[in-house]
Structures are given as structure tokens and as C-alpha cells.
Amino acid sequence: MRNFILFIRRFFNLILFLGLEVTCIVMIQRTNTLQGNDIISSANAVSGLVYKKQNDVVYYFGLRKMNDSLQRENARLREMLASYKSVDTLVDTLALKKVGIADTAKHIIRYAQYIYRAARVINNSTNSSDNYITLNRGSASGIRKNMAVVSGTGIVGRVEHVSANFASVLSVLSSKQKVSAKLRVGTNGFVLWEGKNARVLTMVDVPQQVKVKRGDSVFTNSYSLFPPDILIGTVISTEVVKKNTMQRLYLKPSTDFANLQYVYVAENKMAVEQRALEDSASVKSK
């Protein structure tokens, strides 16, 4: 109590000044409409600024959760899109006696061959001869070795190693990676990385007679590990290899590997059955 009294005595003038200021402001606000409106407007402006800053802070710390939610939604939409691309048409001839002519009824079956799982990049390299990307998803999330990895803009790589909660992806920027690809005109070839520049890929085995223009797009084909029609890159220049009369195309990758943050791991639901059939055929041929 004694300390409180000493505090009041020491700061009495300041406390009196603040009290009178508050009293004046209240009286002005109540008795004078013009100044009162100014005070209320100023108070509202200050409160609004404080609430905005508070909302900005909450929004900033919620960005990761929001991004994760968007990635899951994008994965779901990719599966829906894949189901519309994968179409089998069964044709049944139904003898209809209305007009005395057999009408043909088509039954369309849609299926999604690929399941997409969103993952976040927690480590990435672009300067080695064989670059790897670490993801925050592993076998506990259904990730397995040799699954394809794509981004929102193009291909990324394939899963090389998997633990319970993490996966290591061999990037397309690797001497060990060779992607079966196609041009917009349907010509097939292979895309690889020559280890020089993370912003340049090379497409080889393109016949010289194929007309290729700067800006042409290169996609994955149906023989690739990746889902078909995923963008790999766009042509920035061409070169003729004299010894085999083939063309080399230099591509700008569609994926920005230096700023990669989120990816999708694509599971081919028919990969196991296809591999077993191909292995069986290979054994029989021997």
C-alpha cells in the first residue's frame, strides 16, 4: 500500500494530465457533433488498422495450411481430369423394332488410371550431376519406389527411395533419367539432361525431316513412366547431328526446379499388372 501511495505521489501530475485529457475528449465527443464525429472516425480508423494487421498476421501463419488444402484439391481435380481422358467405348448393337433398323448404342466407361498425392518439397538440389528432391510423404502415405512425380506445370522426376514418412525423388535434372517424349506433331524421342544448365533439357532422336519451330511443346507419351500428355518443356533452339542426320532439340523445362515447393506423386494403378504381363511375355520369348 505504501508503495502504491508513493507511486501516486511521484506521477501525480502525469496521472492528472491524462485524466483531464480523457475527460475533455469525452465531453467534446458528447457535446460537439463535429469534433465528436472526427474523434469517432479517428478511433475507427485506428481500430481498423489494428484489426487489419492482426488479420494479416493470422493469414500469414495460415498460408501453409491453405496451400496444403489447395494441393489436395488440385490432386482430386487431376484425378477427375484423368478419368475423362481415359475412356473406353463399348459398342452394343440393339435390335430396336421401332423403325425396323438396328440402332447402335455406345456405352462409355470412364476410369482414372492415376491417383495423385500432394507432397511438399523439403529439400532440393539443382547443381549436381544427379539431383535429388526430398518430399514430406513416404510409404505411410502410399508412396512407393518408381512412382512418377509431377508439378503443377510439368514433370519433376521419379521416386527413388522411400521411408515411412519421406521420399527421395531422382530429378529430371539427372544423368540417370531419360524420359520418353513426343512433339506436338506426334514424333517420339527421348528427353535427357546433359548436366550443364538447370534451365535446359535436350530431346534426342528426332528425325531431321520433322519440322520443329521455336516454342513448340514437348509432352510425355504413353510409353513414358509419367502420365501421358504432361508438359516437359518448350523448344528454344534446334541442332542437326551430322553423323546420324538426327535433330537435337534444346528445351526450356516447364518446371522451375529452383523454386519447386509442391509436387504430385502419380500412382499408376495398372503398373503392377502391366509389368507382370511384360515380364511374363519376356520370359516366354526366351
What pLDDT score does 82 carry?
Answer: 59
**Structural domain contains residue 198:** yes
**Structural domain contains residue 32:** yes
Mean pLDDT of 126-152: 91
Contact assessment for residue 83 and residue 110, using Cβ atoms and an 8 Å cutoff: yes
User: What is the distance between the alpha carbons of residues 29 and 7, in angstroms, rounded to a whole number?
Assistant: 31
Q: Are residues 254 and 124 in the same domain?
A: yes
Q: Which residue has the higher pLDDT, 239 or 59?
A: 239
pLDDT at 5 over 80: no
> How far, in Å, are 92, 130, 146, 220, 279 from residue 125 at the CA level?
54, 9, 19, 23, 34
| Residue 59 confidence class, pLDDT cut points 50, 70, 90 | low
Q: Are residues 138 and 265 in the same domain?
A: yes
Q: Which phi and psi angles does 272 have, rounded to 5°? A: -65, -45
Nearest to 216 by CA among 233, 198, 229: 233
| Residue 218 confidence class, pLDDT cut points 50, 70, 90 | very high
What pLDDT score does 217 carry?
Answer: 92
**Structural domain contains residue 207:** yes
Q: Which residue has the higher pLDDT, 154 or 92?
A: 154
What pLDDT score does 166 carry?
Answer: 94
Domain count, the chain: 2
User: What is the distance between the alpha carbons of residues 25 and 21, in angstroms, rounded to a whole number?
Assistant: 6
User: What is the distance between the alpha carbons of residues 91 and 72, in angstroms, rounded to a whole number?
Assistant: 36
- Side chain identity at residue 18, one-letter code: L
What pLDDT score does 249 carry?
Answer: 94
pLDDT per position as a tens digit, 253-273: 999 998 888 899 998 887 667
Q: Are residues 30 and 123 in the same domain?
A: no
Q: Are residues 6 and 129 in the same domain?
A: no
pLDDT per position as a tens digit, 170-193: 999 998 899 999 987 778 899 999
Q: Are residues 213 and 122 in the same domain?
A: yes
**Structural domain contains residue 14:** yes
Nearest to 138 by CA among 168, 170, 171, 172: 168
**Structural domain contains residue 284:** no
Instruction: Give the gyration radius of the chain's Cα atoms.
Output: 32
Q: Are residues 119 and 240 in the same domain?
A: yes
Q: Are residues 164 and 252 in the same domain?
A: yes
What pLDDT score does 242 carry?
Answer: 78
User: What is the distance between the alpha carbons of residues 151 and 264, in angstroms, rounded to a whole number?
Assistant: 6
**Structural domain contains residue 95:** no
What pLDDT score does 236 carry?
Answer: 95
Residue 233 per-residue DSSP state: E
What pLDDT score does 35 carry?
Answer: 52
Q: Are residues 130 and 263 in the same domain?
A: yes
What pLDDT score does 93 carry?
Answer: 42
What is the residue range of 17's domain? Answer: 1-39
Cell of 200: 535446359
Q: Are residues 17 and 143 in the same domain?
A: no
Q: What CATH code is carried by the domain that includes residue 139?
A: 2.40.10.340
User: What is the distance between the alpha carbons of residues 257 and 154, in angstroms, rounded to a whole number?
Assistant: 10
**Structural domain contains residue 50:** no
Hey, which of 3-12, 221-230, 236-245, 251-260 has the most confident mean pLDDT? 251-260
User: What is the distance between the alpha carbons of residues 246 and 165, in angstroms, rounded to a whole number?
Assistant: 44
Contact assessment for residue 159 and residue 177, using Cβ atoms and an 8 Å cutoff: no
What pLDDT score does 219 carry?
Answer: 93
Q: Are residues 147 and 265 in the same domain?
A: yes
**Structural domain contains residue 16:** yes
